[in-house]
Amino acid sequence: MSMATFTLPFFLSLLLLPLFSLLTFAADNTTGTIGINYGRIANNLPPPEKVVALFKSQGINKVKLYDTDAAVLTALANSGINVVVALPNELLSSAANDPSFADQWVQANISHYYPQTQIEAIAVGNEVFADPNNTTKFLVPAITNLQSALVKHNLSSSIKLSSPIALSALQNSYPPSSGSFKPDLIEPAVKPLLDFLSKTSSYLMINAYPFFAYEANADQISLDYALFRTNSGNVDSGNGLRYNSLMEAQLDAVFAAMSALGYDDVKLVVTETGWPSNGDENEIGAGKANAAAYNGNLVKRVLTGGGTPLKPQDPLNVYLFALFNENQKPGPTSERNYGLFYPDEGKVYDIPLTLAGLSGAQTNPVNESKAQVPTTAPSSGNTWCVANANAGDEKLQTALDYACGEGGADCRSIQEGSTCFNPNTLEAHASYAFNSYYQKKARGTGTCDFGGAAYVVAQPPRYGTCEYPTGY
Ligand SMILES: *[C@@H]1O[C@H](CO)[C@@H](O)[C@H](O)[C@H]1NC(C)=O
Ligand SMILES: *[C@@H]1O[C@H](CO)[C@@H](O)[C@H](O)[C@H]1NC(C)=O
Ligand SMILES: *[C@@H]1O[C@H](CO)[C@@H](O)[C@H](O)[C@H]1NC(C)=O
Ligand SMILES: *[C@@H]1O[C@H](CO)[C@@H](O)[C@H](O)[C@H]1NC(C)=O
Ligand SMILES: *[C@@H]1O[C@H](CO)[C@@H](O)[C@H](O)[C@H]1NC(C)=O
Ligand SMILES: *[C@@H]1O[C@H](CO)[C@@H](O)[C@H](O)[C@H]1NC(C)=O
């Protein structure tokens, strides 16, 4: 790896300008956002004012609701928090069949609160294709009427309309490149929906739960892959892309399904994802340690990485499910145990939710016994920096050159004949260099990014027998 040692000043001067802008503006471009779903199917939750204070204390400025509750929307006014509200499934037929209903609903439930309450989108229905009350046929007509109402109230440029769909809308999702929608949904619902989203520059809302896939196929899916932990990944046989997490594979299956219908321009927002901290005996994988690992690693992935292998330039925007454990949800035990918080606002487990929290966790490792983050290797509380293979060779090479040159990383071990030369791959060498840089910078915020070419992991990287130091 000759580039690991270059020191030509001429090269550096060429390199520094683009790299400087890459490092400085990466946050605007390649890092995603974390929001939280504020579900309220419970009889023991704190009042909305206290919940808004909780969001603020956690540094969370994006929230998704399941209705337009007056007390909640009022509490969120002038809070600096952006809000996705919802029109519940029960109102879809009225909104579809009666334009004046849609108009009055927008007047009473949106206009009335905006802009004091920063409503940024309306989720029209929730998982409508899976609704046993057969509301699918109302979806697009309802959205159309609501859009007319937004236009009338001069809100259409400020507020997006979309609808959260469940992954069960897919016919195929494996390998991701073969992703397709269920044939019977395509003409009546999916195409008109995507057409609307494309024309209004809106995005598809997707509820994605790797937990369900893992629970049903625990014998075939590795837990590390489901929990965003270091793993050898899976290669998509259709296009050769490598996946290191089930969630990214799920999202790319949706991208592939949209692409197959000619909608390559529609972006995704993950409106729900989560992992239960408790479950029935047959709910394989449910538990506090796994929930902390899933959500903690997901937050790191979103705030420090780029997009998915198919869409590396599109940051991941994710709403965690959910803020609280909700004691009145029906179904198996897991349903009442997706919360990050107990109703008394105590944490179910302790994970960072912001970039500031991530860098805090790096310098002050979370108390392991409290956080219950499982480790497959000894150690921990430590974090490492690894290459994002999805960033592409060119970006990795540029960042590797920078790290080993100007960046001052210790790259001796990846020279030919040295301990970490093998595996002799760009990804492994870049990971070594990025980690050295990151550790030397005391794991400071933004020191494991390289414009989206790197991200932080909580497990020691595994490339051959190479050891990745945590101190220099
Ligand atoms: C994001 O950064 C890439 C270069 O890394 C650039 O090509 C692209 O235009 C940027 N996108 C936006 C939306 O700024
Ligand atoms: C919409 O607003 C009306 C009037 O304030 C209220 O009665 C109704 O409950 C709201 N609808 C929803 C779904 O919150
Ligand atoms: C289906 O519709 C009925 C009547 O409106 C309602 O009581 C029930 O809660 C609905 N079920 C679902 C799953 O939305
Ligand atoms: C929904 O559609 C299915 C199949 O068409 C039908 O069997 C079922 O009765 C319908 N349910 C309702 C609540 O209309
Ligand atoms: C419509 O909304 C835009 C902002 O989205 C604002 O600039 C404009 O003044 C509004 N027009 C009217 C007539 O209120
Ligand atoms: C870590 O948490 C455990 C259990 O809550 C507690 O007993 C212990 O004192 C804590 N250790 C530190 C260093 O905070």
Domain with 319, as residue range(s), is 33-64+163-336
Ligand 4 atom nearest the C-alpha of 134 is: 1
Pocket of ligand 4 (CB under 6 A): 133-134
Residue closest by Cα to atom 7 of ligand 5:
154
Shared-domain flag, residues 319 and 394:
no
The answer to the question of residue 363 being in a domain is: no
Identity of the residue numbered 29: N
Shared-domain flag, residues 413 and 295:
no
Shared-domain flag, residues 9 and 55:
no
**Cβ neighbours of residue 109 under 8 Å, at least 6 residues apart?**
68, 85
Task: Give the per-residue pLDDT at 234.
Answer: 92
The answer to the question of residue 260 being in a domain is: yes
Residue closest by Cα to atom 14 of ligand 3:
133
Residue closest by Cα to atom 1 of ligand 2:
109
The answer to the question of residue 446 being in a domain is: yes
Give the residue from 273, 303, 336 where a domain finishes: 336
Shared-domain flag, residues 259 and 298:
yes
Shared-domain flag, residues 58 and 181:
yes
Measured CA to CA, the distance from residue 253 to residue 180 in angstroms comes to: 7
Residue closest by Cα to atom 10 of ligand 5:
154
Question: Angle at Cα 269 formed by Cα 265 and Cα 89, nearest 5°?
Answer: 110
Number of domains the chain contains = 2
User: Mutation test of ligand 1: which of 17, 30, 201, 313 has the most ligand atoms closer than 8 Å to its C-beta?
Assistant: 313
What residues are annotated to the active site?
A: 127, 272
CATH assignment of the domain containing 274: 3.20.20.80
| Cα 137 to Cα 66, 181, 399, 435, 445, distances in angstroms | 21, 16, 50, 52, 48
Q: How confident is the prediction along the chain (472 residues), in pLDDT tens digits per residue?
A: 433 433 334 444 444 444 444 443 344 456 899 999 999 999 999 999 999 999 999 999 999 999 999 999 999 999 999 999 999 999 999 999 999 999 999 999 999 999 999 999 999 999 999 999 999 999 999 999 999 999 999 999 999 999 999 999 999 999 999 999 999 999 999 999 999 999 999 999 999 999 999 999 999 999 999 999 988 889 999 999 999 999 999 999 999 999 999 999 999 999 999 999 999 999 999 999 999 999 999 999 999 878 999 998 899 999 999 999 999 999 999 999 999 999 999 999 999 998 888 876 543 333 333 323 333 333 346 788 999 877 788 889 999 999 999 889 999 999 988 889 988 899 999 999 999 999 998 888 788 888 888 888 777 787 778 888 887 7
Measured CA to CA, the distance from residue 394 to residue 391 in angstroms comes to: 8
Phi first, then psi: what are they for 435, rounded to 5°? -65, -40
The answer to the question of residue 357 being in a domain is: no
Measured CA to CA, the distance from residue 85 to residue 65 in angstroms comes to: 5
Answer whether 0.75 is exceeded by the pTM. no
Shared-domain flag, residues 387 and 318:
no
DSSP 402-444: HHHTTT----GGGSTTSTT--S--HHHHHHHHHHHHHHHTTT-
Give the residue from 336, 371, 403 where a domain finishes: 336
The answer to the question of residue 405 being in a domain is: yes
Shared-domain flag, residues 318 and 204:
yes
Shared-domain flag, residues 332 and 392:
no
Question: Which two three-digit tokens encode residue 292?
Answer: 């902390």
Task: Give the per-residue pLDDT at 361.
Answer: 59
Shared-domain flag, residues 328 and 389:
no
Shared-domain flag, residues 244 and 391:
no
The answer to the question of residue 237 being in a domain is: yes
Ligand that comes closest to the CA of residue 368: 6
* For residue 141, cis peptide bond before it (omega within 30 degrees of 0): no
Structural contact between residues 305 and 388, judged by C-beta atoms closer than 8 angstroms:
yes
- Whole-number Å distance, alpha carbon 151 to ligand 5 midpoint, is 11
Shared-domain flag, residues 8 and 58:
no
Measured CA to CA, the distance from residue 448 to residue 471 in angstroms comes to: 15
The answer to the question of residue 14 being in a domain is: yes
Shared-domain flag, residues 180 and 282:
yes
The answer to the question of residue 250 being in a domain is: yes
